[in-house]
Structure 1
Amino acid sequence: MGAFGIQTGKTKLATPTATDVPSTGSGLQPRKNVLEKTLSIISDVQPGEGLGALILTINLFALLGAYYLLKTVRESLILAEGGAEVKAYSSAAQAIILLGIVPFYGWIATHLNRNRLLRFTTLFFASNLVIFYLIGQTGARLGVVYYIWVGIFNVFSVAQLWSFATDLFSQSQGKRLFPLLGVGASSGAVGGAWIAGRLIGPLGPYKIMLLSALVLCVCSALTRFAGYIITNRAGEHEKKKDTETLSSEGGFQLLMRDRYLLLIAILTVLLNIVSLSGDFIFGKLLVNQTNEVVGTAASLMKARKAYIGSYYASYYEWTNLVSFIIQTFLVSRIFKRIGVRGSLFILPTISLATFVTILANPILQVVRILKIAENSTNYSLQNTVRHALLLPTSREAKYKAKAAIETFCVRLGDVLQAGVILVGTALHFEVRAFASMTLIITLLWLFVAYRLYIEHKRLVPSFTKALD
């Protein structure tokens, strides 16, 4: 990726460099090798890009796999030690703690180059898991502290690796290769959840922490290897970035002074509110059906839990499967057809259809289908869009502003959604009333997506089709 010399408004646009046009040095058009031909089934991988893209894809697979191992441990500890109420309070505490952690991360990023930053933070999180393991052996109750830690680890580690990818690849490369990286993330989530279900019993929660710490060490090595492969191919300018540090401006400062970044932050908050509100409505409809099918007597509590658990298991299986299919076979084609900014409208349109349907006739089976479509699109296409939106920004935005968006803004959405439920419950809202409230928020989300579309078009001029 080139120097950020093209100034457009307030956000700097990365200029294309040697990473965009592979060269063999002989004047001949380079050819794809076997690996690149194979990867091109999923995404348009150009000659010379295959190995670096594959390593980053494997890295995301391992990182998301480790997260889902740790997430399974998180649920077992927090629910066993504190219950569902404590879990909800811990989620709110994450947003408050992140107000201090985001500026601290920005300070670290100012003093370390990108290689040391990624290595330091990944190994720091791995060392935390060893400490949790040792404390756990004493019998101490770690549920709340560990729950908060996992939430912070997830948003920081995943956001940081995607930041690294946006820093390594140009705008046109990101559009082509990010769908492939997303396959690694999606399959890692599925694989990690599957493995966790089979290891939590025989190993217990604390040994899974040690296993995850080992995986994080592998991720650190993969990140360094991927950076070495990609920067060596890109030339001296890209290699120089490995030793450069960032400016002193913090993540929140970047969001406040840059309209484009602020719109991404607002969109992230609104997306979370709408998505979680939909999940809440789905849960209420399922409880109503359970009451009708199983009954409400106290003696039937075990049967009610079994019915709800079985229903959700099937729901999650279909969501993960559809998400994987969309990520593997559709995302790269959607990007090629309508671009990153055109893809902004797909998920809110599906959400709009979901809440209009609930208003018209809230039937659980219909809402189930729409929520599977909504969540699977969120986990695949929208997730890739969110990362691709940072491609035409400065390096400071890719590391510091992205960290603020993916951590604080995500958790702020969680807190505000809880506020929506609190207000609705206090006013004795039924399902349709909750749907009406969320429908208004969805329309606001669409408006923000439109404004973001305009800003992205300003940053990425339409005269270069490859940079859409």
Structure 2
Amino acid sequence: MLKKFVNVKDEEVGSVLLSFVYFFTLMCGYAILKPLRDEMATAGGVKNVAWVFTATFVVMLVVVPVFSALVARWPRQRVIPLVYRFFLLNLLGFFVVMKLGGVPREQLARVFFVWVSVYNLFVVSIFWSFMADLFESEQGRRLFGFIAGGGTVGLLVGPFLVKHLAEPLGATNLMLITAVLLEVSARCVRRLSHRAVVVRPREAAAEAPVGGGVFDGLRLLFSSPLLLGLGLQILLYASTSTFLYNQQAHIVASVASGSDARTAAFANIDFWVQALTLVLQTLVAGRLMARFGLGLALAVAPLVTAIGSFWLAMVPSMLVLIAFKSLRGATHYSLERPAREVLFTSVDREAKYKSKGFIDTVVYRGSDSVSSWLYTGLDKLGMSTSALSLATIPLAGLWLAVSLWLARLARKPEPSAPALASPVDAARRPAA
């Protein structure tokens, strides 16, 4: 049955389905937390998006080195479940505090908002690091689109559960569902570590600690053209996302009056993004990357962003916004994101778990923070909505150029960096 939708081999089916369930549980859990976070933010007065992004960025600067230290000393099948269960304990702590009360609503809302923002980026980054470590590049081209579909299904199921269970059970009690899903995610890691079928030889070193120092991931980032390009790509994606997020807020506020109408408008946009994404992930992404390579998959999202920004500048309407956001979100999550994760299959394990974590979290949220303050400044200077949309086009153009360059670079073997290679990877190299 699965072969009708994705180009999967018999020996890969179990691992692919487990990976699908793993990503589903992560994103479904996040989708349950997101409405609770947004409601608390509204009630608690969390309105300054730039401040939130900056606070998240600062927290990431602390969290990423800690994770690097853990993977340097312990194997992945131990570290990843440990991290998920740490977040699970955090979540239970928030649950108890919310039930008992006593903490000012505004303070709790701010802390919870930042925590959810850190949680979402971090657990997803770890997921894709794990996938890049389990599967070869050729497998990733065929399978990552479908595996990413697990997350999309989770993002559709989560809001459905909230809609039907929030009132009878209480919104705060839904946090316990996320806690259970996190435990399932941790167990999926264990199962995949023991039974994953990969093309690369299964060696004991593959389950050993990554090794190296805490900050070697950052040094590797600046010594590798591929990693630098991936960092620049995520920076440009995040910048255009922040500009578009603010544009969306302006347009929705201008056409939708009242909290209920605005909520419905945002929900409509999110629904079409996820629905179109799921179709592309399950039916198109794997076959497209396997047949045409990574270049096309990486190029579609920035191209849609440039064209859509121009369209939105000319016609700043709700219909255009929904069409633009749906196409951009769908092409990013179904094509560009899986293709970018395929690129990480070609780097060594230290870069997968350390440099990738830095790029996906610190660089991403740092770009959000800077872009938010820049947008706020331009808006206060009186720049029109159309002008701000046009300002996104050069960023999208640079994003497109970097993406195409990365696709060409991926065809060449990544040069090794012996001075920075982990002891594990060095041990795996054959003697000269």
The question of a shared fold, defined as TM-score above 0.5 by the shorter chain, is answered with: yes
Counterpart check, 1:351 vs 2:305: yes
* Pairing 1:237–2:202 present: yes
Which of 83, 93, 110 is the matching residue for 1:131? 93
Q: Where does residue 25 of structure 1 map in the other structure?
A: none
Structure number with greater Rg is 1
- Matches of 1:71 and 1:128, distance apart in 2: 16
**What are the within-5 Å matches in structure 2 for residues 371-410 of structure 1?**
371-410=325-364
Report matched runs for 1:202-281 at 5 Å.
202-230=168-196, 237-248=202-213, 249-281=215-247
Q: Cα distance, 1:267 vs. partner?
A: 0.7
Q: Does 1:50 align with 2:13?
A: yes
**Partners of 1:154 and 1:305 in 2: CA distance:** 25
- Mapped partners of 1:209, 1:176: distance in 2: 35
Give the number of equivalent residue pairs: 410
Q: CA deviation at 1:460?
A: 7.7
Aligned mates of 1:433, 1:282 — CA distance in 2: 14
Could you report, residue by residue, the CA deviation over 1:371-427 in whole angstroms, capped at 9, with x for unpaired residues?
211122222222212222211111111111111111112212211221231232132
Say if 2:36 is the partner of 1:90. no
Stretches of structure 2 lacking an aligned partner (at least 5 in a row):
416-432
Return the alpha-carbon distance in structure 2 between the equivalents of residues 188 and 265 of structure 1.
27
Does the C-alpha gap of structure 1 residues 318 and 458 become closer, same or farther in structure 2, counting only changes over 3 Å?
same
* 1:458 maps to 2:423: no
- Structure 1 SS opposite 2:165: helix
Amino acid at match of 2:42: L
- Indicate yes or no: 2:284 matched with 1:284: no
Q: Deviations over 1:93-117 (max 9, x none)?
A: 0001211221121111111111111
Are 1:318 and 2:280 counterparts? Answer: no
Q: 1:451 to 1:98 in 2, by over 3 A?
A: same
Q: Is the 8 A contact 1:246 1:395 kept in 2?
A: no
Q: Deviations over 1:348-374 (max 9, x none)?
A: 111111122234444442343122111
- More helix per residue: 2
Contact conserved, 2:50 with 2:373, CA < 8 A, in 1? Answer: no
Between 281-290 and 418-427, the greater mean CA deviation after superposition:
281-290
Relative distance call for 1:401 and 1:361 in structure 2 (3 A) is same
* Structure 1 residues 420 and 88: CA distance shift in structure 2, 3 A: closer
- Give the 3 Å change call, closer, same or farther, for CA 368–72 of structure 1 in structure 2: closer
Question: Secondary structure in 2 aligned to 1:84?
Answer: coil
Q: Secondary structure at the match of 1:49?
A: helix
CA pair 229-335 structure 1, distance change in 2 beyond 3 A? same
Percent identity at matched positions? Answer: 25
* SS class of match (1:44): coil
User: Aligned-pair distance for 1:130?
Assistant: 1.7
Relative distance call for 1:381 and 1:215 in structure 2 (3 A) is same
* Structure 1 unaligned spans of 5+: 1-37, 291-302, 462-468
Superposition TM-score, scaled by structure 1 size:
0.82
Report how far residue 239 of structure 1 moved: 4.3
Instruction: Report the CA distance between 1:225 and its aligned residue.
Output: 0.7
TM-superposed CA distance for 1:234, in Å, is: 6.4
* Contact preservation (8 Å) 1:81, 1:143: yes
Match of 1:439 in 2: 393
Residue number in structure 1 paired with 2:134: 168
State the superposition RMSD in angstroms: 2.1
Instruction: Give CA-to-partner distance per residue, 1:44-64, whole Å, 9 cap, x none.
Output: 111211011111111111111
